[in-house]
Amino acid sequence: MTYFLRKGSNTLAIKTIPQLSFANRVVIVTGAGRGIGRAHALELAKRGAKVVVNDPGFSKEGEPEGSSPADAVVAEITKSNGAAIADHGDVASMNDVAALVDQALSRWGRIDAVVNNAGNVRRSAFTETDAEDLLSQVRTHVLGSLQLCRTVWPHMLAAGYGRIVLTTSQVGMYGQPNLAAYGAAKGGVIGLLQGMKIAALDTGIRVNGIAPFAVTRAAPPAFPSSLKGWMGGEQVSAAVVYLAHHSCTSHGEVFIAGGGHFAVARMVESRGIEFDRPEDVTAEGFVARIGEITDMNDWLTPTNALAAAEPTFVHLRSLFA
């Protein structure tokens, strides 16, 4: 397809992008029975992927509802001559995750990509949020993603190839009223991604994140339902298809996607300051230089935690050399 790259009314360039095909590729999509996950599964299948549609049929709060919508998505895919199988397991259960991966390998003999989309959301005022609210969401978002990724990891290492997409949220970055526990779980996904991106270096595995917003059953009430045509899950899938594709060169990134909007979010820190004398390191010294400490004009994006501390190590070595 040909795309015109524009800035304002000016055409800057013309780019022709070949269709991203998933022929002979096997993709697991969790939480794929409804909403955004369903959109991912349908789009990947349309592009030739063999899709494992995972969904236990839980409510948006994470409670069993007694049936799974995964079968309906599989029926929709197979009706269009696509290839898909249903899995009704809970990603928070290690036994269910093992069965999910075994089913994919038994049926198709490989796993090329995993889209960790399964999630739940419990809304409550912070003062009413309890341990179970937090643990329920951490189990699904963080533990579920960890267990599935760890289970497919050896197979991807053996193949020297893999694509993993984790689903986080802007709520985990910036917060939102009545969603403190949900934000904590989604923030945990970002931490998981940072660790996985380092583990994946030089393996052929690429790990990225998506922070979607769309009008779904789990969307906040403030989302305008009148814009559903522009805020459906398929708008998010446009980015996920790339991140799950063999042509993807991104690694360790978190992409924002929704309503035709795409951006990248990165963890950054100010360059900060260094004190030269231990006796100056006081609360008053900190306050005196707070403006310099919080100055973001020359921000940094460290590659890992040790790299973030290295400038201070260098400075201290220079003082005591």
Same domain, 136 and 196: yes
Same domain, 215 and 311: no
Residue 300 within a domain? yes
The domain total for the chain is 2
Same domain, 246 and 298: no
Tens digit of each residue's pLDDT (9 = 90 or more) over 222-248: 666 666 667 778 889 999 999 999 999
Please identify which of the residues 3, 174, 182, 242 carries the catalytic annotation: 182
The pair of three-digit structure tokens given for residue 1, joined into one six-digit string: 């397809």
**Percent of all residues in the chain with a pLDDT value above 90, rounded to a whole number:** 76
SS3 track for 114-156: EEECCCCCCCCCHHHCCHHHHHHHHHHHHHHHHHHHHHHHHHH
The closest of 45, 41, 43, 42 to 30, measured between CA atoms, is 41
Mean pLDDT rounded to a whole number for the chain: 91
- Its domain, for residue 287, covers 278-320
3-state class (DSSP) for residue 259 = coil
Same domain, 313 and 213: no
Domain boundary at 238, 265, 292, which?
Answer: 265
Same domain, 282 and 198: no
Same domain, 238 and 300: no
- Cβ(145)–Cβ(120) under 8 Å? no
Residues in the chain: 321
Same domain, 218 and 188: yes
| Residue 182 annotated among the catalytic residues of the structure | yes
- 8-state DSSP, 109: S
Tens digit of each residue's pLDDT (9 = 90 or more) over 168-196: 999 999 999 999 999 999 999 999 999 99
Q: What is the pTM of this model?
A: 0.90
Report d(CA 30, CA 53) in Å as an integer. 7
Same domain, 311 and 202: no
Does the pLDDT at position 6 exceed 70? no
The pair of three-digit structure tokens given for residue 262, joined into one six-digit string: 């795409």
Residue 7 within a domain? no
